[in-house]
Amino acid sequence: MAILNSNRYENELNQIGIGLEEKKHLIKAIEKGIVILDVPLKSIEEIIDARGNSKEFEFLANNYKKNNLRPIESVEGLNGLKLNILLHFQENDEIIGNEDDALFIERLKKANKNGKNTVVIGNEGSHLSFHRSLWDTYQKDQTFSNKNL
C-alpha cells in the first residue's frame, strides 16, 4: 500500500502493468475495503532478537533496509490515504515479540489519521494461534460489515 501511494518503484510496477491509473484504482479499492493486519511483521530485527541471527535473516534485514521496506518505517507511506484498518497484536507473543508494537501503533495512527484504526491486543498465547479477539472485534464492529462498504 505504501508503494502504491508513492513514486518509488514506478519502473518496476510499470514492468508488471501497474501504471498511474492502475495505482489510483488499486488505492481506491483498498480504501473502500478493510485492511486486516494480523500480527504484522514490524522488522526482521525483532525476529533475530527472538530467534537468533542467521544468514537468511541477515539477508532479509539488509534487503528491507536497502529497499526502504522495513514495515515499522514504511508505514509512514500510508500518509494521505483513508484506510479502514483492523490491527491485531498478541500480548506476550512467543514468536515475534512485542518490543515495537506501541511504536508501530503510534506510527500507523499518525499515517492513517484520515481513516479508522481499530487496535486489538489479544492474549491467545501465540503469534501462530487462532486469534479469537481479532475475529470477535471484526464480527461485532458494524464498520466492518459488508453492508457499509
Task: Name the phi and psi angles at 131, rounded to 5.
Answer: -105, 80
Single-letter code of the amino acid located at 48? I
pLDDT tens-digit profile of 93-134? 766 767 789 999 999 999 999 999 999 999 987 777 889 999
Please list the residues that pair with 119 across neighbouring strands.
Answer: 87
Place of cell 492474549: 123
C-alpha cell at position 35:
485492511
pLDDT tens-digit profile of 12-45? 999 999 999 999 999 999 999 999 999 888 888 8
Domain ranges of the chain: 32-143
Q: Is the dihedral of CA 125, 106, 110, 40 positive or negative?
A: negative
Q: Is the pLDDT of residue 88 over 60?
A: yes
Q: Is the pLDDT of residue 50 over 80?
A: no
CATH class of 32-143: alpha beta
Alpha-carbon distance of 25 to 50, in angstroms, equals 39
State pTM to two decimals. 0.84
